[in-house]
Chain A
Amino acid sequence: MSDAAHLVREVLHEYGGIAQRALSRYLEQAAENDSVYRLASDYPLRGGRALRASFCIAAARVFGAPVSDAVESAVSLELFHNAFLVRDDVEDESEERRGKPALHVLHGVPTAVNVGDALTVLGLRPLMHNRSILGPELAWRVLRETERMVRESVEGQALELKWRLENACELTDDDYLRMTLKKTCWYTTIYPSRVGALIGLRHGEDLDRFVRFGFFLGAAFQIQDDLLNLAGDHDRYGKELAGDLFEGKRTLMLLHVFRHSTPKERAWLRELLGKPRAEKTTGDVRLLLKKMKRCGSLEYAKQVAHALSGAAAHEFKMAYADVPDSIDRRFIEALPLWVLERL
C-alpha cells in the first residue's frame, strides 16, 4: 500500500468513525418512534468507508474549522448517500449491496422506496442543527448547497434511467461524463469540498474553484468503481460482480465496446441491453465481458481513469493553492491516487 493510500485509510478511519457515531445517534433517536427508521438503519450500519463524510470534514478542517463545525453537514451527506443507494438499487434492480441482499430484495420495492424517503427526510435534520452551530446565515448557505447537490444527483440518475428506457447505445464519452458529473461527482466529491470550504472560510466566494477538482476526482472514482464491478474482488467490493452488465449500465467500457463492434455485433448488443435484467443470461454477460476484454475496453477505461486522476491532481493545486500544509490537506491531495488504488 502506498503512503497516500495509508494516509487516506487512517483519516477515513478517524473522521468516518466520528461521522458514523453521530449518524447512529440520529438513527437511534428516530427508530424509537417508528419502525421505518429501524429499516432505514440497515444500509448505514452495513459499514462503508464514509468517504464523503470524511472528505467534508477534512475540507472544512483544511480551512481552519473545528471538526464539530462540519460533523452535522457530513452526517447529512451520509444520510442522503444511503438514501441514494436504496433508490439506485431499486431502479437498477440490483441484488446486493455491501455484501448483503439489497433492501428491496429483503423487504420489497414499496417498503424500500419508503425507506429511501425516510433517509432523505432524516438527512434534513442535521442541516437544521447547523443553525445553532454555524449561525443562521451559514446554515442557510449549506442548505442551498445541499439542495443543489440533491437536485444534480436526481437529474443525473434521470439521465441514466432515460438511456435505459430508450435503450440508448450510441452514446459518447462526453455523455457518460456529463451524467457522472451530475449523478456521482456532485454528491461524492464536489459538494464535500464546497461545503467544507464554505464552513471553513465562512463565506461562499470562489466555491466554483472546487468544481473542476471535484469533477475529475469523482469521475476517476466512478470509472474505477465501474472497473471493479467487472474485475474486482467480490468480498472486498461488496456488490455482485458484473452486476452492471446485467443491469445494462452505460459505462465507459460499454460505450467503447459498442463503438468497436461490427454492425452485426452492435445489433446483438443492442438486443441484449434492451432485455430486462431477469432475461439476461450468465452466458450473455460472459460473452459481453469477453468482447470488452478483446476490444481493450477495460484497458481504455483504466487509461481514462488514470488521466482524469492526473487532471484531479493538477486541479488540486489550483483549488488548494493558498492552503497551508496539514494532515487534512495531504489527505485531500492523496485522494486522486487513492481512488485508483482502492479496492
Chain B
Amino acid sequence: MDVAPLPALLLRVLIGRNPKRTLVRIIVLAIVSLVVCKFVLVPVHVDGGSMLPTYRENGFNFVNRLAYLFHEPRRGDVVAIRLPAGEHVMYMKRIVGLPGETVAFHKGQLYINGKPLNEPYVKLPGNWEHEPEPVGPDHYYVVGDNRDMPWDDHVHGRAARENIIGKVLL
C-alpha cells in the first residue's frame, strides 16, 4: 500500500483533490456565512447585567432576525433593540407591555392594565415603583429580568416596533 508523503497528504486535506472546486466551496461558504450572520442569525455578545440571571454577562447568543416575519412580537419574548446610531451595539430586553397597554410597577410587581403579571423569569426581584404608563401604538414596553438594580440604572421603556430587529434565539 502506498503511503502519501505528509506534505502531499496535508495539501490534499486542505485543498482537496480539485483545488478549483474547493475554492468555489470556500467562496460559497463565506457568502452564505456572511448573509446568515447579517440577515438571519446575528451573533451577539451579552454585556451588562440587566438580564440576569436569564442571560449572564459575557455570554454568547444569536438574534433571529426572521422571528417576526409572520407575526408580531409577543409578551415574554426577549428581543434585540437597535439604537439610532447603528447595530454594533443593541439592547437585549424582554417585552412585557404590548401596544395600547398600560405598564406600571408597584413594590416591584409589574402590572399590565392594572392587573399583576406573573413573571417566572424574574429571579432577582426589586421594589420598583412607577406610575401607570401607556404604551403607544407600534411600541412595546421592554425591561430586563434583573429588577434588583436601581430603577435609574436599568435601561427600560418603550421601544418602537421598527427598532426591534429580532428575537434572541437561546
A and B physically associate:
no
Residue numbers of B with Cβ under 8 A of A are none
